[in-house]
Each structure stands twice: as C-alpha cells, then as structure tokens.
Amino acid sequence: MNGMGGARLLPWTGAEGKPCYLVSDGVGHVSRVADTVESVQLDMADDLLDHVADMLTDRRVTPAQLRFLLARMSEALTDVRRIAESRGARLPE
C-alpha cells in the first residue's frame, strides 16, 4: 500500500513533531478517532478560508491580525497536506 507496509499516517504528530502511524485494518477505535480529527481539521481549514476572504476585503485589518491569520493558515495547510498524504498513500495501486 505504501512505504510503511500499509501503515496509516495519522493526522497528528508525536514527540518533537515526528509523524505517527497506525498499522491496522482501518476499522478500529484509533482509525475512527483519526477520521474524526481529519474531519475537524478540514472543517477548520474551510472556516479559515472564509475568514481570510472577509479580512482581505476589510481595509481596517491590522498587520498583527494578518500575521495571526497567516500563522493559523500555515497550521491548517500543514494539517491538510498531512491528510492528503495519508489518504493518497491508502489509495489502491
């Protein structure tokens, strides 16, 4: 399935930001938790996209507000990239 012998890249990191993997048949408790976390992360990224669209049209937005938003967008993009990598690795060949 992938380079980890069928292991699933989980949507969170472990100690020191290292990736976490799950080796299972994909139907256990941890798999369901990972599915839920992925769903929450994708929803948060979607909400941020809506928020950034509003902020970019508001001339009163401060540089500090934009930096804060950019930091959250960077976190969301990291999550979405990890989800895409995980899901892509689980596609049948």
Q: Could you give the number of structural domains in the chain?
A: 1
List CB contacts of 93: < 8 A, sequence separation 6 or more.
Answer: 1
Domain containing 77: what range? 8-87
Confidence bin at 26 (pLDDT 50/70/90): confident
> Does residue 3 belong to any structural domain of this protein?
no
Using a 10 angstrom Cβ sphere, with 0-12 exposed, 13-18 middle and 19 or more buried, the burial of residue 36 is exposed
Looking at per-residue pLDDT, the higher value among 42 and 93 belongs to 42
> Does residue 2 belong to any structural domain of this protein?
no
Convert the pLDDT of each residue in 44-59 to its tens digit. Answer: 999 999 999 999 999 9
pTM: 0.84
| CA–CA distance, 83 with 65 (Å, rounded to integer) | 27
